[in-house]
Structure 1
């Protein structure tokens, strides 16, 4: 025995999945770069979070996007200046100064348009794949999503 340990088959698979996922991420990013207004990945992420959590406060949004409060505030300043986001003061018994974030009509339209562009780009790729491979892809992605959403991955 030469002391070398056998390679973990899951480690090898993880590398293969990462390589394959890069193609999906590239497709995702290309559609974002073609958007009008052009949004960074972080800006789009923030808009999508605010869309599913209307009224979210700046602190929580910063946690969700993984940025500091001041950077997130500047991010929101830019989105607000672009007409995509609005800060709304909320009346809460424990803090009357708290501000909630909501998308504007244009913000909703921008997120919808991005979703449609991504679906069209994905459709073009899926049309080029054999149907059985498409089903395997969907099954695998659903299983992957279930595990990551449960916080196990």
Structure 2
């Protein structure tokens, strides 16, 4: 087992049974996530067409959910619908997304990636996985196994707290 350093001044020690997390653990995870964000950003550089980080995030959300209405996309981005609509205007003009009428309600507009958007996303995934493979190759197989277990649990814990998108076809979106 790894040894933990004592909490920094003013830091909270772990309180077994309550789910409290020591500051050093949170700080270590924060450092790793920051390093991962930098790794991601390097992989994102030079994508064609060149798009802004929020546009890239929009492509990622649509790739994950397939089809979303504007309200659902705005929820996922943490943005207001009017800003999301303007963002989608730019992505549509770039040929990366398509707006369609919903099958269940022709008054509702749904968004999805275009073929070009799908290709951009596939290239993004390819680059990011290559960057991650480079880092993983420097780790022992045992460490990779422990990392996979920990990341799986971390992801599941995060997903339990994350709100889902509005369902396509809902009248509230």
Q: TM-score, normalised by structure 2?
A: 0.77
Equivalent position of 2:18 in the other structure = none
Equivalent position of 1:117 in the other structure = 127
Q: Distance in 2 between matches of 1:5 and 1:104?
A: 51
Q: Distance in 2 between matches of 1:37 and 1:72?
A: 20
Q: Which has the higher contact order (CA 8 A, sep 6+)?
A: 2
Deviates more, 1:109-118 or 1:23-32: 23-32
Structure 2: stretches of 5+ with no match in the other structure: 1-8, 15-21, 163-173
Q: Which of 21, 26, 45 is the matching residue for 1:14?
A: 26
Q: Does the 8 Å CA contact 2:11/2:23 hold for their aligned counterparts?
A: no
Mapping 1:70-109, distance limit 5 Å: 70-93=82-105, 96-109=106-119
Q: Distance in 1 between matches of 2:55 and 2:136?
A: 27
Per-residue deviation, residues 84-126 of structure 1 (Å, max 9, x unmatched)? 1011122535xx3211111111111110110000001111111
Q: Which of 19, 34, 48 is the matching residue for 2:60?
A: 48
Equivalent position of 2:142 in the other structure = 132
Q: Does the 8 Å CA contact 2:102/2:110 hold for their aligned counterparts?
A: yes
Q: Distance in 2 between matches of 1:25 and 1:111?
A: 17
Displacement, 1:54?
A: 3.0
Per-residue deviation, residues 21-58 of structure 1 (Å, max 9, x unmatched)? 21111101211123222233321221122223333111
Quick check: which one's helix share is greater? 1
Q: Does the 8 Å CA contact 2:97/2:111 hold for their aligned counterparts?
A: yes
CA RMSD of aligned residues (A): 2.0
Confirm whether residue 142 of structure 1 aligns to residue 147 of structure 2.
no
Cα gap change, 1:6/1:54 in structure 2, threshold over 3 Å: closer, same or farther? Answer: closer
Q: Distance in 2 between matches of 1:42 and 1:145?
A: 22
Confirm whether residue 38 of structure 1 aligns to residue 50 of structure 2.
yes
